[in-house]
A and B are shown apart, each in its own frame.
Chain A
Amino acid sequence: MLRSFTSRMVGAAQRTNSAVTASAVRLFSATSTATQATPTSSTASPSTPSSELSLLRNQLRYYAVAEIKNRPYLITKNDIIVLDRLKDVKLGDVIELNQIKELGSKDYAIQGAPYVSSEYYSIKATVIEQPKGKIVETFKKKRRKHFQRRYHIKPLHTLLRVSELEVKA
């Protein structure tokens, strides 16, 4: 992938500042009686949720780390999530994801403890396909012991398309 240094140099001045603040993650607790963690950045900004969110909302694109069935998936809008088959779901169903561990953009991220409050985002995924995967073969052998086994699995999947990933004001 060709990296364009010119465009990076233009934004370098801004990015050196943000290189410090990008590592500054503001911690929000999921409970309502949350105490704000001290921000590690040097910028003095008021630490209320709406101002944090407005920082995030001024950015262009977002990602989220969603937890589905106890597994993390780093997603942006229009992505396809490949899951093990969900039994209680049909084609076309829209699932709202509400276990979000991290919600971020280029320079800022909100880390949930353990999850980000669902007032801050709206993330939806549509079930687009429930295919069968290709045969996966596991071959086990212990040499000189006359032991070998072949196991074949044809995994079942559910594909979700992330149809909406928005940060609320």
Chain B
Amino acid sequence: MVAPMVHPVLKNGVGAFIPQCRRLVFHYCERSGSSRGMIEYLKKDLIQFAKEHPHVEVIVTPRPSKHPVIRGLYLNGKDKVVCVRNMEPTDIAGKVALLKESSGNRMKVFKKPVISTTESVRGIWSPFHAAPHKI
């Protein structure tokens, strides 16, 4: 009988920190006007970004007759796609930073300030094990 698969409990940041963004793919069109800012970004800023982040694989591919797009691939296998049509290089740099700093998880509403999987340290209150109420 085969033993069941044991999945490790991942706590990124506790022992070592591993950045979640694995790959960024830049698509642009050489002819269309919506790619103008993208082409400028690829010429000016991309190489500097790639040097500063050696853990990210950077791929640049023409995608003719389509809007320029940045696709980020993450360690959990999911990807995030951002269309950067008609954007200036500074705005594109902002979008790249956004993709680089995310994990592959969906955008969600954070309702609580602390996300925890540890049990409560002081235990759940029980009326049988607490000091009696005094008036």
Asked if B131 and A82 make an inter-chain contact with CB atoms under 8 angstroms apart, the answer reads no
Kindly name the residue among B101, B108, B112, B129 whose own CB sees the greatest number of chain A CB atoms within 10 A: B101
Chain B residues with CB under 8 A of A74 = 114
- Of B23-31, B42-50, B116-124, the one with at least 4 CB within 8 A of chain A: B116-124
Asked if B14 and A106 make an inter-chain contact with CB atoms under 8 angstroms apart, the answer reads no
In the complex, residue of chain A having the shortest beta-carbon distance to the beta carbon of B121: A63
B20 touches which of A78, A83, A129 (Cβ 8 Å): A129
In the complex, residue of chain A having the shortest beta-carbon distance to the beta carbon of B103: A129
Within the complex, what minimum Cβ distance (angstroms) separates A107 from chain B?
8
Asked if B109 and A133 make an inter-chain contact with CB atoms under 8 angstroms apart, the answer reads yes
What's the A-B contact tally at a CB cutoff of 8 Å?
107
- Of A16-24, A44-52, A113-121, the one with at least 4 CB within 8 A of chain B: A16-24
Judged by a CB distance under 8 angstroms, whether B113 is at the interface is: yes
Asked if A3 and B122 make an inter-chain contact with CB atoms under 8 angstroms apart, the answer reads no
Interface residues of B, CB < 8 Å — how many?
Answer: 34
Chain B residues with CB under 8 A of A111 = none
CA A75 to CA B116, docked complex, whole Å:
8
Judged by a CB distance under 8 angstroms, whether B5 is at the interface is: no
Interface SS of chain A: helix, strand, loop or mixed?
A: mixed
Judged by a CB distance under 8 angstroms, whether B12 is at the interface is: yes
Judged by a CB distance under 8 angstroms, whether A92 is at the interface is: yes
Within the complex, what minimum Cβ distance (angstroms) separates B61 from chain A?
26
Judged by a CB distance under 8 angstroms, whether A168 is at the interface is: no
Asked if A161 and B113 make an inter-chain contact with CB atoms under 8 angstroms apart, the answer reads no
B115 touches which of A8, A71, A79, A125 (Cβ 8 Å): A79
In the complex, residue of chain A having the shortest beta-carbon distance to the beta carbon of B9: A78
Asked if B115 and A131 make an inter-chain contact with CB atoms under 8 angstroms apart, the answer reads no
Sorting the interface of chain A by its residue count into under 10, 10 to 19, 20 to 34 or 35 or more gives: 35 or more
Judged by a CB distance under 8 angstroms, whether B13 is at the interface is: yes
B108 touches which of A20, A61, A76, A133 (Cβ 8 Å): A133
Chain A residues with CB under 8 A of B126 = 3, 8
CA A129 to CA B72, docked complex, whole Å:
15
Within the complex, what minimum Cβ distance (angstroms) separates B128 from chain A?
8
Among residues 38 to 85 in chain B, which have CB atoms less than 8 Å away from a CB atom of chain A? Answer: none
Within the complex, what minimum Cβ distance (angstroms) separates A76 from chain B?
5
Among residues 86 to 119 in chain B, which have CB atoms less than 8 Å away from a CB atom of chain A? Answer: 98, 100-103, 105, 107-110, 112-118
Asked if A157 and B124 make an inter-chain contact with CB atoms under 8 angstroms apart, the answer reads no
The residues of B with any CB-CB pair to A shorter than 8 Å are 11-15, 17, 19-20, 98, 100-103, 105, 107-110, 112-118, 121-124, 126, 128-131
Other A-B contacts than A3-B124, A8-B129, A104-B121, 9 sampled, CB-CB below 8 A, are A63-B122, A77-B14, A79-B114, A80-B116, A106-B121, A125-B13, A134-B107, A134-B109, A163-B14
